[in-house]
Amino acid sequence: METELNTDLLNIINCLGKEKCICLLAPSFVVDFKYPDILYDLKGIGFSKIVELTYSAKLISHKYHQIIKESNKKKDNKQIICTNCPTIITLIESKYPAHKNKLSNIASPMVVMGRYLKKEFPKYKTIFVGPCLAKKQEAQKNKKDIDFAITFIELNQIMNYAKEKKIYKKINKKEYIDFDKVYNDYTKIYPLSGAVAETMHSKEILSPEQVLVVDGPKNIDWAIKEIEKNKKIRFVDILFCKGGCIGGPGIISKENQQNKEDKIIKYREECKRTPMKEHKGKIKSGLRLNLKRKK
């Protein structure tokens, strides 16, 4: 049975064939695809460059650290809700509007990475690939930064289609391919619940009772009530999907949550042992980048 693609995916196939395209690969990719095999497949369907979102995640974690540190100096005790998850933003703005002023004005890793790449490679199209359906709407709201957003399920469909139509270019595995190095190892855990709090080094600026980590749709109401009754809470690291982004609806794998988490951790640890030829993931490279969610 031949793979059928919708209009949006056919547009991406067309884009890959005619334009220079950068793949913005969400770090949860290891749940569904083997590394480095996925890089050869992405090159095979036409991507010119492939980056992880881990560098933008590093910039975002650094920014949260700065904001909370400044808040500590002012002693304003304000509560901040992390805005990495577009579903959480929509939910709070619609169902819990009394708390929308607590949503941070920091863009998501997808949007921040898109901005960085558009600045560095203005003639390239940016295509986000991840586990989240809500990223499609987010991409529509940030068209200057992200040209397309698809899920891992859709990427798999595109790869199958490309092979069936013989437009897939098989890359020799002897040819060394790796990510275009704009990344950081410790933020590879971003798909997991609580990863923002961990990677922004919250222990240096907040006590454990000042951080609330929440994931899963069943826990959102509880989290809002906790914020309301416990004024000690300063930072809310919240994701809509159970377990974090590894529970996203755009993931292919049917494995249990623990196995998915293990894959993320294993990948991070393996990458720590791999020396980088060139390090482009330094904070100073992105200091002038606009990280705001609302410009």
Domain span at residue 124 reads 7-285
* Residue 2 placed within a domain: no
* Residue 121 placed within a domain: yes
Each residue of 88-129: pLDDT tens digit?
Answer: 999 999 999 999 999 999 999 999 999 999 999 999 999 999
* Residue 110 placed within a domain: yes
Each residue of 203-232: pLDDT tens digit?
Answer: 999 999 999 999 999 999 999 999 999 999
Q: Tell me the mean pLDDT in the region 270-283.
A: 65
pLDDT band at 274 (very low <50, low <70, confident <90, very high): low
* Residue 293 placed within a domain: no
Work out the burial of residue 219: count CB atoms within 10 Å of its CB; fewer than 13 is exposed, 13-18 middle, 19 or more buried.
Answer: middle
Alpha helices in 109-218 (DSSP H): 109-120, 134-141, 152-164, 195-199
Residues ≥6 apart with Cβ < 8 Å to 192: 243, 244, 245, 246, 261, 264
State whether residue 295 is helix, strand or coil: coil
More confident residue, 182 or 111: 111
Tell me the C-alpha distance between 150 and 160, whole Å: 15
Q: Is the pLDDT of residue 48 over 90?
A: yes
**Nearest CA to 128 among 47, 192, 69, 188?**
47
* pLDDT recorded at residue 278: 55
Tell me the C-alpha distance between 144 and 108, whole Å: 14
* Residue 291 placed within a domain: no
Task: Match 């922004």 to its residue by tokens.
Answer: 200
Give the amino acid at 7: T
* Residue 1 placed within a domain: no
* pLDDT recorded at residue 178: 87
* Residue 295 placed within a domain: no
State whether residue 52 is helix, strand or coil: strand
* pLDDT recorded at residue 264: 97
Q: Give 21's DSSP letter.
A: E
Edge-to-edge strand ranges of the sheet holding 80-81: 80-81, 235-239, 211-215
* pLDDT recorded at residue 281: 56
Task: State the total domains in the chain.
Answer: 1
* Residue 43 placed within a domain: yes
